[in-house]
């Protein structure tokens, strides 16, 4: 490795995440903000994981998936069932692991045949797949059917959630900058051309899809162990759209913007909680108008990069 892990830019990122962590944990632990806001913050952190992982599939690899809620559902139910039997951190760890294994298998089953399809067929196929997962969960004994699982121990702590979020962002960003990530970007830009350049498009599409699915199932597990109760209806089509709105709103292909969008939409949801119809109409209008007036999203593919900031500073001085 020629590049140092402890480069200036990476140190800046670390400092930023530690600072945000300390700030938020002081706010939460000393009860400076009400528990209402605390729940919103938890929600936002989970949504960041979901948005970043979906952005990997849609923004980086250019594959339009509408089935993210399905993988979240797998993660949530695996963690829910296992932590009910083993209510400790080991149980949560095991649950996450089981969820990830099932998600990988499910993602392989859905992606190998369907990723050969063009964009819009893929969207419908993934949507159908997520619905199938939900219907299966609704009909199984172990998941307690349509009534949902309740009494899941609350194991998601703020620290755990924050660490998982940071790790997810690191995984996705590093994947994007790696050779497979570049291959994915070339697939997004022009699938036929990248195939002609000798890129095994199916392999890279499937790998991006699986990483996205894994992170979604992690988010699902954290979600289940945070809210005590999970129901199949929580993982329906609307949930997939919620995540999609974050990705599109921020800009497909930019992780920074997904994070920002998840935060903004998290607060928007909190404010509009009592006007759910209005919230959905706003979502719809936002989707349509972003696509018409600024199809790249608010930030496009730009990223917040300390490397560039530092370089600019050096040049100035």
Partner 1 sequence: MTQFLQQIVNGMSLGSIYALIALGYTMVYGIIKLINFAHGDIYMLGSFVAYIVTTKLGVGFFPAMIGSMVFCGIMGVLIERVAYKPLRHATRISALITAMGVSYILEYTTQLVMGSEKKTYPVLLNNSTFQIGSVKVSTQQIYILVITIVMMIVLQYIIRHTKMGRAMRAVSVDENAAKLMGINVDTVISFTFLLGSALAGVAGILVGVYYNSINPLMGMTPGLKAFIAAVFGGIGSVPGAMIGGLFIGIAETMVIAYGSSLYKDAIVYVILILILIIKPEGLLGKNEREKV
Query: What is the residue whose two structure tokens read 């399905």?
Result: 70
Distance CA 225, CA 164 (A): 14
Binding mask 164-193 for partner 1 (x = CB under 8 A): ----------------------------x-
The alpha carbon of 218 is separated from its chain's Cα centroid by a whole number of angstroms, namely 9
Cβ proximity to partner 1: between 96 and 245 the closer is: 245
SS3 label, residue 11:
helix
Determine which residue in the list 292, 313, 315, 316 makes contact with partner 1, applying CB under 8 A.
292
Binding mask 105-124 for partner 1 (x = CB under 8 A): -----x--xx--xxxxx-xx
Determine which residue in the list 142, 170, 197, 281 makes contact with partner 1, applying CB under 8 A.
281
Determine which residue in the list 285, 305, 308, 312 makes contact with partner 1, applying CB under 8 A.
285
Distance CA 184, CA 252 (A): 14
Give yes or no for a contact between 76 and 230, defined as CB atoms under 8 angstroms apart.
yes
Q: Is 88 left (phi over 0), alpha (psi -120 to 50) or beta?
A: beta
Determine which residue in the list 13, 71, 77, 129 makes contact with partner 1, applying CB under 8 A.
129
Instruction: Name the minimum Å distance from CB 132 to partner 1.
Output: 5
The single-letter DSSP state of residue 149 is: B
Q: Among 29, 72, 16, 45, which Cα is nearest to 215's?
A: 72
- Binding to partner 1 by residue 127, rule CB under 8 A? yes
Residues that bind partner 1 (CB under 8 A): 58, 62, 64, 110, 113-114, 117-121, 123-125, 127-129, 131-132, 135-136, 138-139, 192, 237, 241, 244, 248, 252, 277-278, 280-281, 283-288, 291-292, 295
């Amino acid at each position: 490795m020629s590049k140092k892990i402890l480069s200036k830019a990476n140190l800046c990122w670390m400092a930023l995440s530690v600072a945000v962590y300390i700030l938020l944990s002081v706010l939460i632990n000393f009860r400076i903000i009400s528990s209402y806001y605390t729940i919103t913050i938890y929600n936002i952190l989970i949504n960041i994981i979901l948005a970043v992982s979906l952005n990997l599939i849609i923004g980086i690899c250019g594959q339009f998936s509408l089935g993210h809620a399905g993988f979240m559902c797998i993660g949530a139910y695996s963690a829910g069932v296992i932590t009910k039997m083993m209510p400790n951190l080991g149980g949560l760890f095991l649950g996450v692991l089981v969820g990830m294994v099932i998600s990988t298998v499910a993602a392989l089953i859905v992606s190998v045949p369907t990723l050969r399809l063009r964009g819009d067929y893929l969207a419908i196929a993934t949507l159908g797949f997520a619905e199938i997962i939900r219907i299966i969960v609704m009909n199984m004994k172990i998941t307690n059917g349509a009534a949902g699982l309740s009494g899941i121990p609350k194991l998601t702590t703020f620290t755990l959630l924050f660490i998982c979020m940071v790790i997810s962002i690191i995984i996705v960003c590093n994947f994007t900058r790696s050779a497979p990530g570049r291959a994915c970007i070339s697939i997004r830009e022009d699938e036929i051309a990248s195939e002609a350049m000798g890129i095994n498009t199916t392999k890279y599409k499937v790998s991006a899809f699986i990483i996205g699915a894994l992170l979604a199932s992690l988010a699902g597990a954290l979600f289940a162990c945070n809210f005590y109760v999970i129901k199949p209806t929580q993982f329906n089509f609307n949930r997939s759209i919620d995540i999609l709105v974050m990705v599109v709103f921020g800009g497909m292909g930019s992780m920074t913007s997904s994070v920002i969008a998840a935060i903004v939409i998290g607060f928007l949801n909190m404010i509009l909680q009592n006007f759910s119809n209005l919230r959905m109409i706003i979502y719809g209008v936002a989707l349509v108008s972003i696509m018409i007036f600024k199809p790249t999203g608010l930030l496009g593919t730009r990223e917040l990069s300390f490397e560039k900031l530092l370089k600019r500073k050096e040049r100035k001085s």
